[in-house]
Structures are given as structure tokens and as C-alpha cells.
Structure 1
Amino acid sequence: MASHNTTTEVPYGYITPGFPSLYWLIGPPNVVQPSYLYHIHDVWRFTLFWTIIIFEAAHLAVALYAVVIVWWGGRRPALKVGTVRGAREQGKRGKEGDTGEKDGGAVGKLKVLWMVPVVYGVIAGLEAVLAGSVVGLMLGAVYNSGGFKVSTWIPFVWSLISVLVLILSSFSIQGGL
């Protein structure tokens, strides 16, 4: 049985470009030096690295936002007991001056808030390894089977697509049927 090899011919003396090897796309042809990937392993590696970087950045931005909201959310002004809302809130809190925080307010928050970016970072890393590996291997296989060389921009763009799909999937979609 004859095998059909559709892989792109790797140029003589080809050396895999170093990460990230993104090149400026706009400019005269003699100035722009494009970088290409020819091996599935390289496409997978570039996609994995870009996915880890972009997922970590997105998750840590969200974690920072959550920390700021929780930190500043506890700094609301004290309610006056003479108002209706203040009396209701005072009843929820219990005795006068009790805020319901056992560890001393801001100090208690700091004991827990430092964990938010750590947990988000670990989750982002796990998601990125899974998504980057699947997308990178699929990209490498598709481009290799078609006999195409892969620009170093392709793994970067697909990692952006992966994080956008992750963000979009975080919203609940409810139809009005």
C-alpha cells in the first residue's frame, strides 16, 4: 500500500523560530521577515504557550477585578440607626457595632483575598493546557494534512479565539420560546 505524503517541504537549513516570533505584517516585502512553522510539534508548542499566556492574563484580570470589588465593597459607610434602612440592617447584624466579620474586618478579608488570584491562576493554567493542546494538535494536523506552512500568527490568533469562546460560554443564554 503506497503512502501519500502531503507534508510541506521543509526548506533546507530550516530552524524553528524562537517563541514568540511574531512579525510586523505591514511593510515593504524586503523588510518584513515572516516566520513559519512546519512541524506539528512546533505548532502545538506555540499554540500552547500563547494559550497559557492569554488565559492567565484574562483570568488574572478577572481575579483582580473580583479582589477590588470585595475589598472596596466592605468599605461602605456605616448606616444610621435612626433610618428605616439602617434599622433593618442593624437587625440583620445583631448587636450594635457587629458587622458579622469574625476576623477583624479588613484583616480577615486579606487572609482570604490573596487566594482568589492564586485559584484563578491555577484554573487558568489547567484550562489553557487542555485547550491549547487540543487546538494546537488540531491546527498542526490540519495544516500538515493540507501541505501548508503555518505562520507564527496562527497559534496566537487561535489562542485569542479560545479565550473568547471561554468568555462567551460563561454567559447564560436564555431564549424566549
Structure 2
Amino acid sequence: MASPDTILSPPEGYVSPSFPCLYNPRAEFTRTNASTLVPGTCYLYYSNDVWRFTLYWTLICYAITFLLTSTWAFIVFSKKSVFLAALIPLTYGFLAGIFALIGASIIGFVLSAVYSVGYFSMSTWVPFLWALTQTMVAIMGSYSTAVSIM
């Protein structure tokens, strides 16, 4: 039986991938042995890497979403008050950063814990997909609020 240190450690020659390191997912289907790395793929093994990738993708997704909504709010409110309209993008940007930091921290470290307990290697696509999921949940959660304001 292998020691826990060898089970949880990354394969020999592993280097933490640089962000974003998304690869063609079809490369996963060419894998012949589960213990070897497929050329052209990127995996995450360390919890800090998982958290970092999740945070970066969440910040990007939230920035795009909050930029679009703050632009719409700026256009609507600029007819009423230019000062209030100027505060909207700043407030949205600040809230997007806070929400992304909190959400990515929770999800990133939970993902890292689940994958390490199961002795799995994590594809770099997983943090990206969870960032999209967080963004969709934020959009769905804001729908009822936006409708009641209008």
C-alpha cells in the first residue's frame, strides 16, 4: 500500500499551471492510464492553485456581468441624477469584488478539499465552470430584486 504522501502528491515533474491554462477537453479521452498526465492538459493539485484559479475566473465573470448591469443602471439613472449615476459603477465594482472574493474562497477551498479527499486531479476547467455557476446563481438571485425595483 502506498503512503499518504505519495497518493496526495502530484506526479513527478508537475509544475503549477499558469492562468488560464484551459485546454481542449477532447484530450481527456485519449488518456490510457489514470496515473499519467496527458500531454496538452493542465491539472491542479494544490489548494492555493485551486483557490487562485477559482478567484480569477469568478472575478472575470462577475466583472463582465456587473459591468453590463452597471452600464444599464447608469443609463437609467443618469436621467435623474448624474452624481448618483456616477456612483453606480463604483458601487457595482466594489460589490462584484467582495462577492467574488467570498464566493471563490468558499467554493475554491471546498473543491480543493473534495478533490484531495477523493485523490483526484482537478482539471483547470472545473474552477472555470464553478465561476460560471456562481455568476448564474447571482443573476438568478438578483432577478426578483430587479423586478421589484422597476
Q: Please give the TM-score of this superposition, normalised by the length of structure 1.
A: 0.68
Higher helix share: 2
Q: 2:17 maps to what in 1?
A: 17
The reply on whether 1:164 has 2:140 as its aligned counterpart is: no
Match of 2:66 among 59, 65, 71: 59
Query: Are 1:41 and 2:48 an aligned pair?
Result: yes
Query: For the Cα contact (< 8 Å) 1:37–1:151, is it kept in 2?
Result: yes
- Aligned partners of 1:134, 1:5: CA distance in 2, in Å? 25
Gaps of 5+ in 1: 75-100, 102-107
| Whole-Å separation in 1 of the counterparts to 2:140 and 2:132 | 12
| Residue 121, structure 1, aligned to residue 96, structure 2 | no
Aligned pair partner of 1:69 in 71, 76, 79: 76
Question: Which whole-Å CA distance do the structure 2 matches of 1:11 and 1:144 have between them?
Answer: 14
The ranges of structure 1 where at least 4 consecutive aligned residues each deviate by more than 6 angstroms after the TM superposition are none
Structure 2: 5+ residue runs without aligned partners?
A: 32-37, 146-150
Aligned to 2:4: 5
Higher relative contact order (CA 8 A, sep 6+): 1
In 1, distance between residues paired with 2:90 and 2:21? 29
CA contact (8 A) 2:77 2:84 kept: no
Q: Tell me the CA shift for residue 40 of structure 1.
A: 1.2
Q: CA separation of 1:172/1:48 partners in 2, compared to 1, >3 Å: closer, same or farther?
A: same
**For 1:119-158, what aligned pairs fall within 5 Å after superposition?**
119-158=91-130
Label 1:12 to 1:151 Cα distance change in 2 as closer, same or farther (>3 A): same
Q: With structure 2 as the length reference, what TM-score do the two structures score?
A: 0.79
> RMSD over aligned Cα, in angstroms?
2.6
Displacement after TM superposition at 1:69 (Å): 2.5
